[in-house]
Amino acid sequence: MMKLRELTLKETHDLLKAGEIGVVELTREYLDAIHENNPSINCYVTLCENEALNQAEEAQKRLSSGEENSALCGIPMGIKDNMCTYGVRTTCASKMLENFIPPYSSTAVDRLLKKGAVMLGKLNMDEFAMGSSTENTIFGPTRNPWNTEYVAGGSSGGSAAAVAANLAGFTLGSDTGGSIRQPAAFCGVVGLKPTYGLVSRYGLVAFASSLDQIGPLTKDVTDCALVMDEVVAHDPMDSTSVAWENGSFTEDLEKGVKGLSLGLPAEFFDSALDDGVRKAILKTIKLLEEQGASAQETALPGIKHAVPAYYLISSSEASANLARYDGIRYGHRSKAAKNIDEVYRSSRGEGFGREVKRRILLGTYALSSGYHDELYNKALKVRRIIANEFARAFEQFDVIIGPAYPTTAFKLGEKLEDPLKMYLSDIYTAGVNLAGLPGLVVPCGLDDKNMPIGIQLIGKPFSEKLLLRIGYAIEKAVGSFKALKNEGRA
């Protein structure tokens, strides 16, 4: 018998609307499952049990009165712990913000709560979103629900794992260089990094302000479209926010792929790509061709510079953004400090983890006198080259298609002592953020270890509806992949 938690968001909404299940009953089922399974997966770091049950009662009243039409009303969700939530601890998985309780909610979270979604809690992540494995966290690593010896990816590992383990109906994550798409691929769920500016960043704790973007992680493509319908809107509180006037994200899902042209960058299919991942991606592209799409190899020669450019720009912005954590205004303050210099030095030394310190130092160095032009400004020029190459590719192709990561999920601890190896693996995702483009990851197969493989679709700005349409076609062609066949795990 299928559990309520295994249903998609749309299936759950239909049952709630018909009165066949209640919101409180549904919320309790999720909370019970979190109590049982979170110790082995470690995706939730703060559980909002009382708040969730209160929100569930309110959502039930709205559904019963017929006043709320949103597909998200009554749906339990989880939120990455770098989005401010009024009255609920927001830590960024850092000692620096371990006890920070925001006085307001981020716009994206606020919009969901106003639509009646139920917040179960806050989700684990790499500290300040800096990492690719959710191992750089004061709460201990998040484990992959498919196999708990493997990482869930990062930095939104908690968000991806919660969906894969059926511990949330959907989640929000953030993506600065691949932090939604890579964990989505590792955990076999759908993850969308929207066009820069499409979802408000107000209330998202800043890592790299010109790259950060909030997006959904869901069980399937339809659910992803439904969440996008609610979180996308112009926000005057975010100066980079743009208006969306292209209708519902769900309306074109079933249009198919006939006549669409797909570009396959040669740089995405080089020797760095695992053979099992390559086979699954190419097989999926073949299925799209059978449905009437055309695929052709193309080139993005500048993409080989994406990783160094990304790490210089993101670390420079992080150096500036994280300067606010000085032990004076809010956040961790060293008890050992005896003067103002020691307050700064000790508070930051104690409050930040190793990876965050590494990137602050890199960014500060890149912005320093004598290196600003040589490093930071050069990285900005490379960013423009990459954006121009994507723009030229989109003159010929409707979408760029390829892997999200060179391999499937790796084992816990495998890359922790080799940050450079971890950084270089962002080659397929970082360029999308540098160019401000949307990227969608959809599960497309399993490797020989029975771990999920994700295919990445990259579109021109504001082409989310097209990406979701192609993602829907992929989903219908390859079928679904479910974690936790072993009931002992979740």
CA–CA gap between residue 77 and residue 59 (Å, rounded): 13
* Closest by CA position to 214, among listed 159, 164, 152: 159
Catalytic residue among 94, 105, 132, 155: 155
Of these residues, 179, 319, 347, 463, which one is catalytic? 179
114 is catalytic: no
Across the beta sheet with 214-218, what order do the strands follow?
Answer: 44-47, 118-123, 76-80, 170-174, 214-218, 190-193, 439-446, 452-458, 399-403, 261-265, 294-298
Catalytic site residue 335?
no
Annotated catalytic residue: which of 80, 219, 460, 465? 80
- Concerning whether 357 is annotated as a catalytic residue, the answer is no
CA distance readout (Å), 141 to 38, 56, 147, 158: 12, 30, 13, 9
User: What are residue 261's DSSP bridge partners?
Assistant: 294
Catalytic residues, by residue number, are 80, 155, 179
